């Protein structure tokens, strides 16, 4: 992509920027309205609420100015944004193609900000964004929104992997694999220690990105799983050149210094500081169930307190259970699998 002829535009020229409003957890009421926080995952959604006093409109872009600064997400539904988030209301006709382009560029501004230099509303208004431009009257320029939209539709989408393209074009089946709706009753769950139901966690052999040959053809490549918390832990796909230690499929990967946890359905290789967890009870459904719960433990760990092999093995996790003898229980793996299969879009997993 040739960016030489792009022009800089002030945010305030193309957006009306509005601040979010804080809502404490104590005041949240459960519901279906997205609550957008200063996070870098899940499209910014940190909770779902029914509070509706200070909602922002759909078809806007949320940008964190504190926390995960410059994380930008396109919002397709009305939402509540926390006070660490600015909301960009377009002064042009926004759609999902243009939004994808803009959020990608905004995300590239992360390096400019940190805890001591936040991207607040005032500084964002005078910040500039470089975009494809078209010349208009009096020698002035405006963003070339038509070019941007056509680039996403006609060039980028065609290059997406099959699954990503299905998600983007919405040509996937929303029906669950099981029609029976299952409910979670955590009151009856029991505590289990990881080492009692999983093999001993082990450190994976590490491959550095600079030593690997990246490739976009997924059928001949292998996933390089790192400590990133995006894209299922996959930093890139690399040419399968007969690595000495390819990890087999059906495993949970854990970044020990970041506590980033994902289920891996296919073969993979790892980057630095990666722990692998396996069990005969794992499949892609139970794996998704367990990783969801393990990820709720992330707040306990950081670079100063790594989620190492020993801690992982002795982690207690509360799971659905089945009674097998008086005062003796085991995890109800079948329920976990069936629950995931009962969710919408489970046929796409």
Q: How far is CA 89 from CA 18, 62, 200, 238, in A?
A: 8, 9, 51, 39
Specify burial of residue 344 (Cβ count, 10 A radius: 0-12, 13-18, 19+).
exposed
Please count the residues of the chain.
Answer: 349
Domain with CATH 3.90.220.20 in the chain: 7-159, 186-348
Q: Which residue from 151, 121, 141 is spatially nearest to 9, judged by alpha carbons? A: 141
Average pLDDT, the chain: 88
Q: Thinking of the domain 186-348, which architecture would CATH place it in? A: Alpha-Beta Complex (3.90)
Task: Report the pLDDT value the prediction gives residue 239, as an integer from 0 to 100.
Answer: 81
The angle at the Cα of 10, spanning 7 to 13, to the nearest 5 degrees, equals 110
Q: With cut-offs at 50, 70 and 90, classify the pLDDT of residue 114.
A: low
Please give the class, per CATH, of domain 7-159. alpha beta
| Lowest mean pLDDT across 94-108, 237-251, 262-276 | 237-251
| Lowest mean pLDDT across 23-37, 167-181, 308-322 | 167-181
Residues 221-243 have a mean pLDDT of 84
Task: Report the pLDDT value the prediction gives residue 219, as an integer from 0 to 100.
Answer: 54
Give the pLDDT confidence of 60-91 residue by residue, as tens digits.
Answer: 999 988 777 888 999 999 999 999 899 999 99
Is the whole-model pTM more than 0.75? no
- Whether residue 171 is predicted with pLDDT greater than 60 in this model: the reply is no
Q: Which is more confident, 178 or 111?
A: 178
CA distance 97 to 178: 33
Biggest alpha carbon distance in the chain? 85
Give the pLDDT confidence of 137-166 residue by residue, as tens digits.
Answer: 777 889 999 999 998 888 777 777 776 666
**45's tokens:** 């959604």
| Lowest mean pLDDT across 44-53, 232-241, 320-329 | 232-241
Going by DSSP bridges, is the β-strand pair 85-90/60-64 parallel, antiparallel, or unpaired?
A: antiparallel
- Whether residue 216 is predicted with pLDDT greater than 60 in this model: the reply is no
% of the chain with per-residue pLDDT over 90: 53
Give the pLDDT confidence of 297-349 residue by residue, as tens digits.
Answer: 888 888 788 999 999 999 999 999 999 999 899 999 999 999 999 998 788 78
- Whether residue 217 is predicted with pLDDT greater than 70 in this model: the reply is no
Q: Which is more confident, 35 or 3?
A: 35
Q: Which residue from 102, 103, 47 is spatially nearest to 79, judged by alpha carbons? A: 47
CA distance 308 to 282: 21
Task: Report the pLDDT value the prediction gives residue 247, as an integer from 0 to 100.
Answer: 93
Q: Which is more confident, 180 or 291?
A: 291
């Amino acid at each position: 992509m040739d960016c030489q002829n792009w022009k800089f535009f002030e945010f305030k020229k193309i957006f009306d920027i509005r601040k979010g409003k804080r809502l404490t957890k104590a005041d949240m009421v459960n519901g279906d309205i997205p609550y957008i926080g200063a996070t870098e995952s899940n499209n910014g959604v940190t909770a779902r609420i029914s509070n509706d006093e200070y909602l922002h409109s759909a078809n806007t872009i949320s940008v964190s100015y504190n926390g995960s600064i410059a994380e930008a997400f396109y919002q397709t539904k009305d939402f509540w944004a926390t006070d660490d988030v600015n909301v960009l209301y377009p002064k042009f006709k926004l759609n999902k193609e243009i939004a994808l382009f803009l959020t990608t560029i905004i995300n590239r501004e992360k390096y400019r900000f940190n805890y001591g230099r936040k991207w607040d509303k005032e500084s964002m208004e005078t910040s500039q964004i470089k975009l494809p431009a078209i010349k208009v009257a009096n020698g002035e320029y405006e963003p070339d929104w038509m070019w941007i939209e056509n680039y996403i539709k006609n060039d980028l989408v065609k290059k997406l992997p099959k699954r990503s393209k299905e998600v983007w074009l919405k040509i996937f089946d929303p029906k669950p694999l099981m029609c029976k709706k299952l409910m979670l009753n955590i009151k009856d769950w029991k505590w289990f220690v990881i080492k009692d139901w999983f093999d001993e966690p082990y450190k994976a052999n590490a491959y550095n990105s600079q030593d690997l040959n990246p490739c976009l053809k997924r059928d001949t490549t292998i996933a390089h799983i790192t400590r990133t918390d995006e894209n299922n832990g996959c930093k890139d796909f690399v040419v399968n050149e007969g690595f000495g230690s390819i990890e087999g499929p059906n495993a949970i990967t854990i970044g020990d210094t970041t506590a980033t946890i994902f289920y891996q359905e296919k073969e993979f290789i790892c980057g630095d500081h990666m722990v692998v967890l396996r069990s005969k009870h794992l499949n892609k459904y139970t794996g998704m169930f367990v990783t969801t719960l393990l990820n709720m433990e992330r707040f306990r760990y950081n670079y100063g307190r790594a989620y190492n092999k020993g801690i992982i093995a002795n982690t207690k996790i509360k799971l659905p259970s089945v009674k097998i003898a008086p005062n003796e229980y085991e995890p109800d793996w079948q329920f976990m699998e069936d629950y995931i299969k009962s969710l919408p879009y489970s046929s796409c997993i």
